[in-house]
Structure 1
Amino acid sequence: MLAHELILAYVLLLLGGLLILTVYTEMRRRRFEPPAARDRIFRCQNCGYVYTDDPDVDLSRCSQCGKFNPPFEF
């Protein structure tokens, strides 16, 4: 029974270390990565041009052809 307990403790220790390393890496990545842009994505229904605009805009004018477009939904 002692061998089974040692193997279980070894596996749990390795998994715990992996979990701590994953959390630490994710925290570092979030700290140094630039924040996600809040802009909305628009695709012109007339010419197909893809562009961004402020998040509070419901209709945005295409800079290529001037047509107003709703935000693009993925």
Structure 2
Amino acid sequence: RVSLPDGARWRYRYDAFGRRVSKVREGQAPSAQAVARVAYRWDGDLLIGQQQYRADGSAAREVQWVYEPGSFRP
């Protein structure tokens, strides 16, 4: 759990391999459009995507990464 200077508190979750799988804003979000949750997607050791969700539950922004073959370089 992390508390930021603006008062926001985030809780992080990890899987059995130590990879971050989500972060969730604790408490009330400043607005329905504020990011309240982020889910991370993995392919083995490679972080391949993240999906942000607003406080109202709707999807906000999705990011995907493609890596050079056989490398950890996106």
State the TM bucket, normalised to the shorter chain. under 0.3
TM-score of the superposed pair, with normalisation by structure 1 = 0.24
Q: Which has the higher strand share?
A: 2
TM-score of the superposed pair, with normalisation by structure 2 = 0.24
Q: Which has the larger radius of gyration?
A: 1
Instruction: Point out which structure has higher relative CO (alpha carbons under 8 A, 6+ apart).
Output: 1
Q: Which has the higher helix share?
A: 1
